[in-house]
């Protein structure tokens, strides 16, 4: 296990390298302005919330970060990639540096959990069967699902399926994890379990995370850096900062 620094410490954070750096940007959904004058950064060791109601721009910002929405106005760097000059052919390389967790799971229903994860690794060029097996086992161990490898998604609960999605995001040892409303379809008890898992992984691996949610109660129990989205704007809210 790597040495853990005090997470979200504002003094430590200022000296850590940035993994996301956006300045004076406009976030567009096709031709429609979603967020204006965006200044947003994430450094190594940061757990960052994007807070706001549905439709406030959280998902559009995340989609921009992983190259699903085009970026043209302002400056934006994600894991060393300049989004303004990013070519379509480079998008897969950018995404290999990211772990992405969606609300709607997006698991292959006709494949076992092991096969779902193996499919991802083979899709990005992995061929060594032993390394694939070990990596999948390690990822499933982190989400406490080593006994579910031969189950199909339909045989798992919603919380278990989301754990598989988290394991999938961890496979390639990402530099940054993006989570888009990952607890939006879960009941309160399961939401707390999944959030506790995210936070535990964050503290253990120090992988920076951006967690988009409209659940304001999470930030009290699992503190982090907060950015508020709404009315076509985004701003950092240090008034609620808790270490």
Which DSSP helix (H) or strand (E) runs through 111? Answer: none
Which DSSP helix (H) or strand (E) runs through 13? Answer: helix 10-15
Radius of gyration of the chain (CA): 18
Q: What is the C-alpha to C-alpha distance for residues 64 and 100, in angstroms, rounded to an integer?
A: 13
Q: What is the C-alpha to C-alpha distance for residues 197 and 128, in angstroms, rounded to an integer?
A: 29
- Report yes or no: 27 and 35 within 8 Å, Cβ to Cβ: yes
Tens digit of each residue's pLDDT (9 = 90 or more) over 82-103: 999 999 999 999 999 999 998 7
Tens digit of each residue's pLDDT (9 = 90 or more) over 147-196: 999 999 999 999 999 999 999 999 999 999 999 999 888 899 999 999 99
| Residue 21, phi then psi, degrees to nearest 5 | -145, 105
Q: What is the C-alpha to C-alpha distance for residues 240 and 176, in angstroms, rounded to an integer?
A: 23
- Report yes or no: 185 and 216 within 8 Å, Cβ to Cβ: no
Q: What 3 state SS string does 29-90 have? A: ECCEEEEEEEEEEEECCCEEEEECCCCCCHHHHHHHHCCCCCCCEEEEEECCEECCCCCHHH
Provide the pLDDT for residue 7: 52
Q: What is the C-alpha to C-alpha distance for residues 108 and 77, in angstroms, rounded to an integer?
A: 32
- Using CB atoms within 10 A of its CB, is residue 93 exposed (0-12), middle (13-18) or buried (19+)? middle
Distance between the two ends of the chain, CA-based, in angstroms?
Answer: 22
Q: What is the mean pLDDT of each run of 10 residues along the chain (243 residues)?
A: 46 75 95 95 96 92 96 97 96 95 88 97 95 97 96 95 96 95 89 94 94 88 92 86 46
* pTM metric for this prediction: 0.89
């Amino acid at each position: 296990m790597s040495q853990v620094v005090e997470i979200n410490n504002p003094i430590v954070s200022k000296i850590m390298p940035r993994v996301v750096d956006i300045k004076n940007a406009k976030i567009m959904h096709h031709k429609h302005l979603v967020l204006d004058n965006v200044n947003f950064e994430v450094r190594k060791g940061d757990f960052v919330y994007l807070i706001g109601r549905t439709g406030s721009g959280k998902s559009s910002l995340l989609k921009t970060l992983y190259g699903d929405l085009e970026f043209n106005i302002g400056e934006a760097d994600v894991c060393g990639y300049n989004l303004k000059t990013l070519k379509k052919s480079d998008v897969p390389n950018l995404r290999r540096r990211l772990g992405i967790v969606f609300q709607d799971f997006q698991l292959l229903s006709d494949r076992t959990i092991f096969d779902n994860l193996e499919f991802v690794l083979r899709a990005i060029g992995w061929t060594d069967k032993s390394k694939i097996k070990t990596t999948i086992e390690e990822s499933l161990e982190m989400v406490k699902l080593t006994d579910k490898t031969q189950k199909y998604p339909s045989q798992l609960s919603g919380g278990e399926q989301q754990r598989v999605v988290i394991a999938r995001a961890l496979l390639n040892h990402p530099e940054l994890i993006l989570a888009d409303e990952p607890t939006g379809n879960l009941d309160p008890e399961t939401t707390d379990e999944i959030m506790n898992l995210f936070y535990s992984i964050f503290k253990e691996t120090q992988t920076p995370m951006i967690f988009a949610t409209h659940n304001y109660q999470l930030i009290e129990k699992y503190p982090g850096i907060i950015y508020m989205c709404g009315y076509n704007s985004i701003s950092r809210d240090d008034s609620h900062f808790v270490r």
